[in-house]
Amino acid sequence: MQRPPVVFIPDILSLFHLALTRSEPDPTRLQPTAIKPPAMCRMCVVAMQFWRGLDSPCTLSLLVVFQLAFVLYFSLGGFHGLASFLALSTQQEFDYSRAHDVYTNLSRLEELSSLHPGRQRTNQLKYCPRRSPLLVGPVSVRLASPRSMDEIWKRNPVVSPGSLSTSRLLSHLRSLLYHLHPFLQRQQLHYRIYVVHQEGRSTFNRAKLLNVGVREALKDEEWDCLFLHDVDLLPENDHNTYTCNSQYPTHMSVAMDKFRYKLPYSQYFGGVSALTPDQYLRMNGFPNRYWGWGGEDDDIAARVHLSGMKIIRPSVAVGHYKMIKHKVDKGNEVNPKRFNLLMKTRSSWRSDGLNTLTYTLLSKQLQRLYTNLSVNIGDDPVRKAPLPPAKPPAKNVDVASANAVRQAHHVSTNKTS
């Protein structure tokens, strides 16, 4: 079996240098001759004389440097790996062992919003800066003891209403709202959080729920950016700004603790992602045919490329997220047909997406910390489970107590000025 080139590099240089040192002519053995050496011998003599002239400490040091650079080049994966290494060396580093409280600097934002319009404003923060001066970097994420909605409301007095689920997912929602609201406020964004719930007993369909959330959000306002956010992911660094790239979709959750803060594979697009409305329309939204767990993230990533775009990401040092651990949800079992569907993405993405989305909006309620959407998205054609009659909840009654709720996912939108 042929060994990698890097294994041979030290041996080649060492043997060649050994040949040079052993090729010194012995003056006592030089004899005049009239025999003309062949062409190959003349080439060898010229080469040996040339390398004998380079046999100096400086030259050898230079060769060692080039040798090490060559080894580093291949060990990092060639040109692309070397470029990535050099890019990482210039990126800002963060110490996640010294994280700030998630509500750090939020009082400065409250003071700014409470200033009287006629009062002279000195040392005031600029409106919608490119990078907010309130950012602190790594923030502490607490997964235990979820806060109550009342406590979260008191900690976020600037949040307006409208910016339920099962008992377990309600604890996830509390944790997300507790961390996400101060996270977005420090970035000085105008935003709204939509929570989309699938009613009924059908198999869970994440991508279709995201389609519903986007369509309903765009009815309310002309948002500049759409964030598709899983309920169980908490951001750990507020330098990971929740804004969109004007050209390409952005995958935000690059480094999750579930994957040891590494990207599991190059085309991964799950967790948290951001698109402009134009990018969303260009890729025909998301697929509606993935009932159950798995496959829809890879389908969405394929749509990005098939529509002539590419996926961009923040640095691994910035895109840190913690996942709230939980068991597999009943009704969200692994989709056995996900690989067959993925093989058809190239031919089906134009005919399966936003242009074929059907659903029934059962209720839309402006809660104090989010906007709640309860929807009936139909039934999994494979399982054919009968749905109960869809009845809107009574007035002033929480959806959680009026209906059985399957899941919760979040569509976070923002608008920059």
| Residue 106, burial from CB neighbour count under 10 angstroms (0-12, 13-18, 19+) | buried
Where are the strands (E) in 17-107, listed by range?
none
pLDDT score of 315: 93
Cα 94 to Cα 317: distance, rounded to the nearest angstrom: 7
Q: Give residue 48's pLDDT.
A: 53
Query: Model's pTM, two decimal places?
Result: 0.65
Q: Which residue bears the tokens 């409106």?
A: 127
pLDDT computed for residue 393 by the predictor: 46
**Domains in the chain, CATH or no CATH each:** 149-415 (3.90.550.10)
67 Cβ contact list (under 8 Å, min separation 6):
9, 10, 13
Residue 82 CA to residue 141 CA, distance in Å, equals 34
Amino acid at 376: N
Please report, in tens digits, the pLDDT of each residue of the chain (417 residues total): 444 443 333 443 333 343 334 445 555 544 554 555 555 555 555 445 555 555 666 766 777 777 777 666 655 555 545 454 454 445 567 766 676 777 676 666 656 555 444 334 444 544 556 667 677 677 767 666 556 777 776 777 667 665 533 334 677 888 899 999 999 998 988 899 999 999 888 889 999 999 999 999 999 999 999 999 999 999 999 899 999 999 999 999 999 999 999 999 989 999 999 999 999 999 999 999 999 988 999 999 999 999 999 999 999 999 999 998 866 667 778 889 999 999 999 999 999 999 999 999 999 999 889 999 999 999 888 765 444 554 554 443 333 323 333 334 455 556 654
Nearest to 166 by CA among 411, 410, 409, 404: 404
Q: Residues 192, 217: contact at Cβ < 8 Å?
A: yes
Q: How far apart are CA 149 and CA 178, in angstroms?
A: 9
d(CA 148, CA 19): 78
Question: What three-state secondary structure class fits 285?
Answer: coil
For the chain, what is the radius of gyration of the CA atoms?
Answer: 31
Q: What is the pLDDT of residue 65?
A: 74
Report pLDDT for 100. 72
Nearest Cα residue to 138 out of 176, 106, 172, 100:
100
Cα four-point dihedral sign 64, 66, 69, 73: negative
Q: Give the CA angle between residues 91, 94, 99 to the nearest 5°.
A: 160
Whole-number pLDDT of residue 106:
67
Long-range residue pairs from 294-298, CB within 8 A, at least 24 positions apart, any chain: 294/334, 294/335, 294/338, 295/335, 295/338, 295/339, 295/341, 295/342, 296/206, 296/207, 296/338, 297/268, 297/269, 297/270, 298/267, 298/269, 298/342
User: Which has the closest alpha carbon to 300: 247, 262, 354?
Assistant: 354
DSSP for 346-407? HHHTTTSSGGG---EEEEEEE-SSSEEEEEE----TTT-PPPPPP-PPPTT--HHHHS-EEE
Neighbour-count burial of 235, counting CB atoms closer than 10 A to its CB (0-12 exposed, 13-18 middle, 19+ buried) = buried
Phi, psi of 156 (to 5 degrees): -125, 70
CA of residue 374 relative to chain centroid, distance: 27
| β-strand partners of 410 | 195, 229
Residue 342 CA to residue 300 CA, distance in Å, equals 10
- Provide the pLDDT for residue 79: 52
* pLDDT for residue 236: 92
Strands of the 272-275 sheet, one edge to the other: 250-251, 272-275, 225-229, 405-415, 190-199, 371-376, 360-366
Task: Evaluate whether 287 touches 222 at the Cβ level (below 8 Å).
Answer: no
What integer pLDDT is reported at residue 15 of this predicted model?
35
Tokens 């913690």 found at: 322
Cα distance between residue 373 and residue 387, in whole Å: 18
